[in-house]
Amino acid sequence: MQLTEYLKEKKQLINQQLELYVRDYSVPGRLQDSILHSVHAGGKRLRPILLLATAQAFEVQEEKVLGVASALEMVHTYSLIHDDLPAMDNDDLRRGKPTNHKRFDEATAILAGDALLTLSMQVIAEDPHLSDSERIYLIQELSKASGAKGMVEGQMQDMLSENVEVSLEKLENIHKNKTGQLLKFSILTGAYLGGVTDKVLTEMIKMAEALGLIFQIQDDILDITGDASVIGKPTGSDEGNHKSTYPQLLGLEGAIDQKEKYVQRALENLKNANIEGSTLSQLIQYLSIRDH
Amino acid sequence: MQLTEYLKEKKQLINQQLELYVRDYSVPGRLQDSILHSVHAGGKRLRPILLLATAQAFEVQEEKVLGVASALEMVHTYSLIHDDLPAMDNDDLRRGKPTNHKRFDEATAILAGDALLTLSMQVIAEDPHLSDSERIYLIQELSKASGAKGMVEGQMQDMLSENVEVSLEKLENIHKNKTGQLLKFSILTGAYLGGVTDKVLTEMIKMAEALGLIFQIQDDILDITGDASVIGKPTGSDEGNHKSTYPQLLGLEGAIDQKEKYVQRALENLKNANIEGSTLSQLIQYLSIRDH
């Protein structure tokens, strides 16, 4: 299957699942409407797709990972709703649509985020395709990745770094927490449920770390060179917000070189894990050149 | 032991546990400071104490429930931080201290709440005193109680009911979700870990439902007759916010009668569960006459 076909098919699958879960775990009304607004706002569903692709590479049945892939996207969606709030990044548009608090109001957006985070844990805890020990392992890892030593701490550090000159080391640390940990969770989950050896797991974790940085560097590059109508939000916002970025610290060419270095590393990790022929290797290259 | 002694001792125990967990599951810095601010702001720790008392009544070892009791208080604390935000109830004081967003800022308060909710799930998922199936059951119940069919939906409905005349039925429904579900979780957890029969479990759930309503009626009464310096927040805020309350719908005397009816029911449930001599029966009466 072509990668574009693959991406389209899996995105639809995840969208269906998300809609089913939200309708099942909430009651009709304003809160549900607001959750569905953000869930329908779409996005590429990269995290769940990476999870599905990793699971496939290690021969895990798709139905076994659909629940946790949806839970992961719920955590990502909740974090976007809260990050867009006026008190945080104050964004009016997300993927070309009004952000949750613009379409509804701030209180509703805060609650929609809270509900999605709670729901993500419930989805894993009730997943009939997973054993109790698998559910527990995944909840442990997801809460670590998204909590006060992971994503939430990354967002805090990101906010504290606005209008402040930060080193490349500090910048990478922020991204590792803010973006990298959830990406790592997607890869880790596929490998864990595939019952891989410790050696393979180590390679996959390294791959996931490289992938997180590829993702972020390309994000920074797109903020400079991208087309706002393709990305679905205004470009140039990093400079406007005085955020440190890779192009700013390394120059645009330097950032591109750095990204290419991580791509080579990630592909090497896949080779060491004996899955260099999998869809994951196409995904790595796609992520490094994506235009939105 | 006298009830006041019991309350003091258990409150200290919970406070210690909360502090340990927060320090262990986050890194030093602004986010941790902000979480600790709200954790230290205190409160009566009623939910975890109800959990401990129920566990004791059914002869469950205290160390087995300390983790989940702390997780429960984290969920309660996160909900207070978010409810206090300007976009929600816009409160400057909580238990006589500045609310999280007043002491820090709105972005930090949102993140502190998010972190506490995430942490609560991690604490249960990693609790070495619980089996995998116990952890899963408790995460299922806690996420249901606090999610989009529980606490978060209750808060949404509560906000939608401001400046609107609501019926007693609707009011009870709001409280059942907003306050009642977490109280019910505390009772349910103690009984579940005590391995009670279905008949006893049913009595305890009924007791918990009555307790939730006792708690809320007394809250409404205190907003009229209470002493602001004892409660730690201004009184009269319900009327100021145009919120429907029991005294408003039933009159002050009517509300007191209604509360007394629920107290008798709850004590009856304890008797049917064969634990009428437990600390829980003192707690029910204490909750119905508390002054803060």
Judge whether residue A241 has pLDDT over 70: no
Judge whether residue A232 has pLDDT over 70: no
**ipTM, 2 dp:** 0.95
| Percentage of chain B modeled with pLDDT above 70 | 95
Residue A180 — very low, low, confident or very high, per pLDDT cuts 50/70/90?
Answer: very high
Is the distance from CB of A110 to CB of A100 less than 8 angstroms? no
| Percentage of chain B modeled with pLDDT above 90 | 84
**In whole angstroms, what is the distance from residue B26 CA to residue A153 CA?**
8
Phi-psi region of B43 (alpha: psi -120 to 50; beta: other; left: phi over 0): left
Judge whether residue A233 has pLDDT over 70: no
Is A92 buried (19+), middle (13-18) or exposed (0-12) by CB count in 10 A? middle
Residue A1 — very low, low, confident or very high, per pLDDT cuts 50/70/90?
Answer: low
* Element at B192 (helix H, strand E): helix B181-193
Residue A97: strand pairing partners: A94
**φ, ψ of residue A233 in degrees (nearest 5):** -150, 160
- Report the candidate in A127, A104, A89 with the shortest Cα–Cα distance to residue A37: A104
Residue with tokens 């299957």: A1
Angle between helices A198-225 and A279-289 (to 10 degrees): 30
**In whole angstroms, what is the distance from residue B273 CA to residue B197 CA?**
9
Chain mean pLDDT for chain B: 94
Quick check: helix, strand or coil at residue B6?
A: helix
Residue A98: strand pairing partners: A93
For A133, nearest residue in chain B (alpha carbons): B132
Q: Which of A117, A124, A181 to mutate: most B Cβ within 10 Å?
A: A117
pLDDT at position B244 is 80
| Percentage of chain A modeled with pLDDT above 90 | 84
Judge whether residue A139 has pLDDT over 90: yes
**In whole angstroms, what is the distance from residue B212 CA to residue B183 CA?**
6
CA-based radius of gyration for chain A: 18
| Percentage of chain A modeled with pLDDT above 70 | 95
**In whole angstroms, what is the distance from residue A53 CA to residue A67 CA?**
14
Mean pLDDT of B210-214: 95
Mean pLDDT of B176-197: 97
Task: Kindly report each contact of residues B159-165 with a partner whose C-beta sits within 8 Å and lies 24 or more positions away, as own/partner.
Answer: B159/A107, B159/B88, B160/A30, B161/B243, B161/B244, B162/B241, B162/B242, B162/B243, B163/B242, B164/B244, B165/B244
Is A57 buried (19+), middle (13-18) or exposed (0-12) by CB count in 10 A? buried
Residue B49 — very low, low, confident or very high, per pLDDT cuts 50/70/90?
Answer: very high
Chain centroid to Cα A137, Å, comes to 19
Half-sphere exposure of B93 (CA within 13 A, CB side): 11
Quick check: helix, strand or coil at residue A41?
A: coil
Chain B from 88 to 127: CB within 8 A of any A CB: 88, 105-108, 110-111, 113-115, 117-119, 121-122, 125-126
**In whole angstroms, what is the distance from residue B161 CA to residue B155 CA?**
10
Give the number of other CB atoms < 10 A from CB of residue A206: 18
B242 touching chain A per CB within 8 A: no
Residue A188 — very low, low, confident or very high, per pLDDT cuts 50/70/90?
Answer: very high
- Report the candidate in A157, A34, A117 with the shortest Cα–Cα distance to residue B79: A117
pLDDT at position A290 is 85
Chain centroid to Cα A70, Å, comes to 12
A155 neighbourhood in chain B, CB within 8 Å: 111
pLDDT at position B292 is 78
Mean pLDDT of B149-178: 93
Judge whether residue B131 has pLDDT over 70: yes
CATH class (in words) of the domain with range B3-289: mainly alpha
pLDDT digits (tens, 9 = 90+) for B113-127: 999 999 999 999 999
- Report the candidate in B59, B76, B46 with the shortest Cα–Cα distance to residue B290: B46
Tell me how far apart the terminal alpha carbons of chain A are, to the nearest angstrom: 22
pLDDT at position B251 is 92
Strand runs labelled E in chain A? 93-94, 97-98
pLDDT digits (tens, 9 = 90+) for A107-131: 999 999 999 999 999 999 999 999 9
Is the distance from CB of B292 to CB of B231 less than 8 angstroms? yes
Judge whether residue B242 has pLDDT over 70: no
Give the number of other CB atoms < 10 A from CB of residue A86: 17
pLDDT digits (tens, 9 = 90+) for A39-80: 999 789 999 999 999 999 999 999 999 999 999 999 999 999
Residue A110 vs residues A202, A221, B84, B204: alpha-carbon distances, Å: 37, 30, 12, 33
Is A264 buried (19+), middle (13-18) or exposed (0-12) by CB count in 10 A? exposed
* Element at B211 (helix H, strand E): helix B198-225
pLDDT at position B233 is 65
Closest partner residue to B135 among A136, A144, A160, by Cβ? A136
b/e string for A104-133 if b means 16 or more Cβ within 10 A? bebbbbbbbbbbbbbbbbbbbbbbeebeee
Judge whether residue B96 has pLDDT over 90: no
Mean pLDDT of B176-191: 96
Mean pLDDT of B210-238: 81
**CB within 8 Å: B149 and A26:** yes
Contacts (Cβ under 8 Å, ≥6 apart) of A221: A246, A247, A252, A255, A256, A259
For residue B113, give how far its alpha carbon lies from the nearest alpha carbon of chain A (Å).
9
Judge whether residue B241 has pLDDT over 70: no
Give the torsion through C-alpha atoms of A274, A278, A281, A287, to 10 deg: -140
Mean pLDDT of B26-30: 97
Quick check: helix, strand or coil at residue A154?
A: helix
**In whole angstroms, what is the distance from residue A227 CA to residue B207 CA?**
60
Structure tokens belonging to residue A249? 């610290």
pLDDT at position A132 is 98
pLDDT at position B232 is 65
A35 neighbourhood in chain B, CB within 8 Å: 148
Residue B231 — very low, low, confident or very high, per pLDDT cuts 50/70/90?
Answer: low
Chain A from 122 to 181: CB within 8 A of any B CB: 122, 125-126, 132-133, 135-136, 139-140, 143-144, 146-149, 152-153, 155-157, 159-160
Residue type, B128: P
Judge whether residue A13 has pLDDT over 70: yes
Tell me how far apart the terminal alpha carbons of chain B are, to the nearest angstrom: 22
pLDDT at position B238 is 67
Residue B148 — very low, low, confident or very high, per pLDDT cuts 50/70/90?
Answer: very high
Angle between helices B30-40 and A151-160 (to 10 degrees): 110
